Structure 1
Amino acid sequence: MTLEQLRIFIAVAERQHMTRAAEALALTQSAVSHAIMTLENSFGLRLFDRVGRRILLTDAGKIFLREARAVQARALAARACLEDLGGLRAGRLHVWASQTLASYWLPARLNRFAALYPEVTLGMTISNTEEICAQISAGTISFGLIEGAPIGPSVRTETLARDQLLLVVGPDHPWAESPPEISALDQTPWVLREKGSGTRASFENALQGWGLTTDRLDIVMELPSNEAIATMVSTGRAATVLSASVVSGLIENGLLCSVSMPFPDRHFAFACGARSLSPAEQAFCTLLRGDASRTP
């Protein structure tokens, strides 16, 4: 039994006439007759009684008409659903983003997307770069927004924006007045992001380029929160490295001091794997690419 057979059956039942049903469906009368005969033969039931030139629904036909109309209505609803999803008049966009992006860079873009597609429901999961790449590699999610380089060979990235790491200390730290040599970075306590975060990975890559490792540093605490780290450093005697997006306001207000250090630029990136993007995800990616193309 096919949806086309149901459509033909409903048309014939409503008009009680093969020729009129065929005209309404833009089909030949033989095609309509064949569809009804095939349907009846498939189940060994008569759905119509032929009375002269007229056809009348049998009791079985009357019962089946209710079900056929219900199936047709659900099929039309399913089609409308797909059309809405494809046209972004419905659907869901869920973004996995690393903490710095989620807190400082992403909200404005999500607000713009919501203004363009108000019927699409938005959601966000905040994680770190390593976990997001692991979810992409496992096929659990189709894309994510990460900091720095991807982790895992099956993850592809596309740069969206540049970011700058800053070494910061509290106003009472000696480095606030006298920046250290790179070789002296091990002469203060450190509070750092957890392993797996893009900020931590970028810092470790910079250290490696300078011939150092975090093993030489006095790391007194590792935290998964940029804000908690910034607060601890501003009120204590430790140093840290965070994104300029996180600490610029605190520096302007005198709560943190930026210590000159030649960190290379890093990137905010769109990361994806083997899974295809939904229409909402494709539209969001287009919005992000538009932003990237306008950024010098």
Structure 2
Amino acid sequence: MTLDQLRIFLAVAERGHMTRAAEALHMSQSAVSAAIAALEGQSRVALFNRVGRGIELSAAGEAFVSTARAVIAQAGLARTVLDDLANEPRGRLRLYASQTVASYWLPARLIRLHERFPHIEVSLTIGNTAQVASAVAAGSADLGFVEGDVSEENLKRRVVARDELVLVMSETHALAGATTLEAADYRGQAWILREKGSGTRSEFEAHLAQMGLAVADLDVALEIPSNEAVLSAVAAGSCVSMVSSRVAGSVRGICQRPVVWRDPPVRDFAVLTHPERHRTRAIEAMLGILDLNGRQAG
């Protein structure tokens, strides 16, 4: 029994199809079939039932899935440990970042990481702040980057940069030239907001509280889970929104107004780590890049 045979077995088990498993593994169907046949022959156990031209897990195959996954996971951990023992940081670094951080702040740091440690393989997933925190807590991400506070109490949060939200609207909007704004001005607009769980949304709600308002007091036309989509919608119509100043200049036709009528809505960019999980040399390398560069606003 080999690790490759186990990986092939799991690919077929998860897809219930030889051809789709072969495509996912970038192998020929005959090679996949041969690996399954060899595994079954060595163990003298039928792991799959052949039904016509289809295939499905047998009772024995279903019982074997969890064990096979555990072996593959342990093999991955062994590879991580060996990579970590190398003189130069290497191995895989799994990052999860909220949209503004991932699109406008993190890329420059990843380039610096690659220039200094080219053997570190980085994978980046983008979501909102709540999703990032959940991934780090669950161990499916090594480091998380968020735009505000998180509810996961078992995570360590360290500020690495600062960000300010600005009011945005089309260049022809009536508020573009207003000298000051009050709660009544907010109530009189149609708003486009980021989704619940995003750092932008939570910071905007804190700003509304300063104005004596809540989201329920506003005319919310749309909630959109994308900074760029929010700006495109604002530029195309009469709605207003509040987004990061780093984002606001990315779409033409947008007027951005810093908040001067209340305390500016300033938030932190922070890195999340799990204090009970092992820090590989790749993780330490990324944290070192943040120590050198991350506290700069740019």
- TM-score, normalising length: structure 1: 0.67
**8 Å CA contact 1:175, 1:259 repeated in 2:** no
Q: 1:202 to 1:86 in 2, by over 3 A?
A: farther
Q: 1:215 to 1:82 in 2, by over 3 A?
A: same
Q: 1:284 to 1:89 in 2, by over 3 A?
A: closer
Q: 1:83 to 1:165 in 2, by over 3 A?
A: closer
**8 Å CA contact 1:161, 1:268 repeated in 2:** yes
**Separation of aligned partners in 2, 1:229 and 1:293:** 28
User: Equivalences for 1:11-30 in 2 at 5 Å?
Assistant: none
Identity %: 36
Q: 1:85 to 1:209 in 2, by over 3 A?
A: farther
1:281 paired to 2:279: no
Instruction: Give the aligned partner of residue 112 of structure 1.
Output: 112
Instruction: Give the aligned partner of residue 155 of structure 1.
Output: 155
Q: State the shift of 1:121 in Å.
A: 1.2
Instruction: Give the aligned partner of residue 230 of structure 2.
Output: 229
Q: 1:146 to 1:79 in 2, by over 3 A?
A: closer
User: Equivalences for 1:38-57 in 2 at 5 Å?
Assistant: none
Unpaired runs of 5+ residues, structure 2, are 1-77
**Separation of aligned partners in 1, 2:229 and 2:83:** 45
User: Equivalences for 1:168-183 in 2 at 5 Å?
Assistant: 168-178=168-178, 179-183=180-184
Partner-residue secondary structure (3-state), 2:149: coil
> Considering only CA atoms, is the larger Rg found in Structure 1 or Structure 2?
1
Q: State the shift of 1:294 in Å.
A: 5.4
Letter in 2 for 1:279: R
Please give the root-mean-square deviation of Cα atoms over the aligned residues, in Å: 2.3
Q: 1:81 to 1:211 in 2, by over 3 A?
A: closer
Letter in 2 for 1:120: I
Q: 1:168 to 1:293 in 2, by over 3 A?
A: closer
Q: Deviations over 1:90-148 (max 9, x none)?
A: 31112100000111111111011011111111210001101111222333333200001
Letter in 2 for 1:124: L
**Separation of aligned partners in 2, 1:81 and 1:290:** 26
Instruction: Give the aligned partner of residue 256 of structure 2.
Output: 258
Q: State the shift of 1:181 in Å.
A: 1.5
Instruction: Give the aligned partner of residue 40 of structure 1.
Output: none
Q: State the shift of 1:176 in Å.
A: 1.0
Q: State the shift of 1:293 in Å.
A: 4.9
**Separation of aligned partners in 2, 1:135 and 1:83:** 23
Q: 1:83 to 1:122 in 2, by over 3 A?
A: closer
**Separation of aligned partners in 2, 1:186 and 1:80:** 54
Letter in 2 for 1:222: E
Instruction: Give the aligned partner of residue 99 of structure 1.
Output: 99
Letter in 1 for 2:237: G
Unpaired runs of 5+ residues, structure 1, are 1-77
Q: How many residues align?
A: 216
**Separation of aligned partners in 2, 1:278 and 1:266:** 29
**8 Å CA contact 2:99, 2:126 repeated in 1:** yes
Q: 1:278 to 1:191 in 2, by over 3 A?
A: same
Q: 1:233 to 1:91 in 2, by over 3 A?
A: same
Letter in 2 for 1:193: R
**Separation of aligned partners in 1, 2:97 and 2:139:** 16
